[in-house]
């Protein structure tokens, strides 16, 4: 990725049980990948249920379009009612990034 893109940081604490979460998460990832301006995603969840997902976007307009996507909106509401004890979303502009890859 090059500099000057956006990151949406979604931090959440899951409730007990799957309740359709894994299937919905896979669908949202597939749908996000189809959205104009989507650049990628990184995600991790600990055994305690705390998760962080960072999605990368080319613009704030692309982020807003994703937020307003009808299927994403419905899943977001289900997350609030069923899957998350709490969640927090942050939108950040990435000014620069750095990477390291060990040579093998």
- Write the pLDDT tens digit of every residue in 51-68: 999 999 999 999 999 999
pLDDT of residue 43 exceeding 80, the answer is yes
Torsion angle in degrees (nearest 10) through CA of 70, 74, 75, 79:
140
- Write the pLDDT tens digit of every residue in 15-41: 999 999 999 999 999 999 999 999 999
pLDDT band at 44 (very low <50, low <70, confident <90, very high): very high
Tally of structural domains, the chain = 1
Dist CA 86 CA 68 (whole Å): 21
Helical packing angle, 70-78 and 21-33, nearest 10° = 150
pLDDT of residue 3 exceeding 70, the answer is no
Per-residue pLDDT, 8: 98
Is 30 part of a structural domain of the chain? Answer: yes
Instruction: Output the pTM of the full model.
Output: 0.89
| Interacting residues of 49 by C-beta distance below 8 A, sequence separation 6+ | 13, 14, 15, 85
Host domain of residue 38: 5-94
Is 55 part of a structural domain of the chain? Answer: yes
Is 28 part of a structural domain of the chain? Answer: yes
């Amino acid at each position: 990725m090059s500099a000057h893109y956006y990151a949406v940081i979604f931090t959440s604490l899951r409730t007990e049980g799957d309740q359709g979460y894994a299937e919905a998460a896979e669908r949202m990832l597939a749908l996000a990948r189809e959205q104009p301006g989507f650049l990628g995603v990184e995600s991790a969840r600990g055994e305690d249920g705390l998760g962080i997902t960072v999605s990368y976007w080319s613009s704030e307009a692309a982020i807003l379009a994703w937020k307003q996507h009808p299927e994403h909106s419905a899943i977001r509401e289900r997350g609030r009612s069923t899957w998350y004890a709490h969640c927090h979303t942050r939108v950040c502009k990435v000014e620069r990034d750095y990477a390291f890859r060990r040579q093998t």
